[in-house]
Amino acid sequence: MPHRPARLLRTLSAAIALGPALLASAAAAPYAYITNQGEHSVTVFDLAARKVTATVPVAQSPAGVVAVGRAGKVFVTAPGSNAVSVIDMRSQRVIDTLPAGAGAVGIDAAPDGTRVYVADWFGGRLLGFDTATHRETLRVAVGDAPAGVAVSADGRHVFVAERDNDLVAVIDVAAAAVVARVPTGSHPFALLLDAPRARLYALNVYSNSVSVIDVRDAARPQRLAVVEVGKAPYGAALADGGRRLYVTNQLDDSVSVIDPERLRLVQTLGGFAYPEGVASVGDRVLVVNWMDDNLMVLDAATGRPLQTVATGSNPRGFGAFIGEPAPR
């Protein structure tokens, strides 16, 4: 399992009540789907209405999550039961449970919403699923302990963090094969694609850094830079119109803010407690605190705390957990 094996199988349990300041920014992404690893459920929070609207039972020990608006579904990895639960966004109910290797962890969706890709931690594979039929479409062997997943802007390549090999693998979807690998720092875990800049950010848990990778030619990735952050970076999100990159640092109880144009650390925010998941919604940033069982809402442009909201025990937030169903 990831760098904290005993704790990976616990995650978010949230009953969130975000304040009125979030209303204006919530219109584009009104639902947060928060995995509750200890309770085997997903809390559905309506950002516009500022209230929890459902608690959805899912497969055992849910961890990763991706909300696929174009498909109208949420896909939740459950390493405790080697499965992926599928939630219908309109009914807020599980409509299918898919077998997914031996420890499904990281997950991401293709930009067109037709596929999701899952890192099989113990199986050493990347798995792909059709979001309409839920059938497996891809199975590719990768390196040791695959964790974070990110899909290229054109959907033709999938990036996988090979955590125990200190590499990011590039999978050609059509060829169903690894076509390249690029070195990172020590133990990359989460990945984040910066599509406008054609860059990939790999968060290196053991070397306390972010590797910046040029993916203009996805099959030939090139290392651009390394940005030092706090101890054990876990999650990343672009915010403030892409002008700021927020990175949570588990063991420093801090959040690093990077200028992605200059690739420099510009701010370090304190006052967190084992921060993990992070997401950007309009002019707000949401940071999940694992130790304090809460969610902190920040101003995206300044990092200023706006609100602290109680959650359930050991909230995590690994993945793109915010979305809404596309109009029919």
Secondary structure element (H or E) that encloses residue 24, with its range: helix 23-26
What 3-state class would DSSP assign to 107?
Answer: strand
Q: What is the pLDDT of residue 290?
A: 85
Backbone angles phi, psi at 8, to 5 degrees: -60, -30
Cα–Cα distance between 202 and 179 in angstroms, integer? 18
Q: What is the pLDDT of residue 150?
A: 98
DSSP character string of 218-235: TTS-EEEEEEE-SSSEEE
Cα–Cα distance between 153 and 235 in angstroms, integer? 20
Cα–Cα distance between 215 and 158 in angstroms, integer? 11
Q: What is the pLDDT of residue 301?
A: 97
Instruction: Pull the structure tokens for residue 266.
Output: 């510009």
Q: What is the pLDDT of residue 45?
A: 79
Cα–Cα distance between 252 and 4 in angstroms, integer? 15
Q: Which residue do the tokens 């479409």 mark?
A: 137
Q: Which residues of the chain have pLDDT under 50?
A: 1-29
Q: What is the pLDDT of residue 23?
A: 34
Class of domain 29-323 (CATH, top level): mainly beta
Residue closest to 136 by CA, chosen among 146, 147, 124, 127: 127
User: Would you give the end-to-end CA distance of the chain in angstroms?
Assistant: 39
Q: What is the pLDDT of residue 12?
A: 31
Q: Output the pTM of the full model.
A: 0.89
Q: Which residue do the tokens 């030619």 mark?
A: 217
- Structure confidence by residue, pLDDT tens digits, 13-63: 333 333 333 333 333 448 888 888 888 988 887 877 777 788 899 999 888
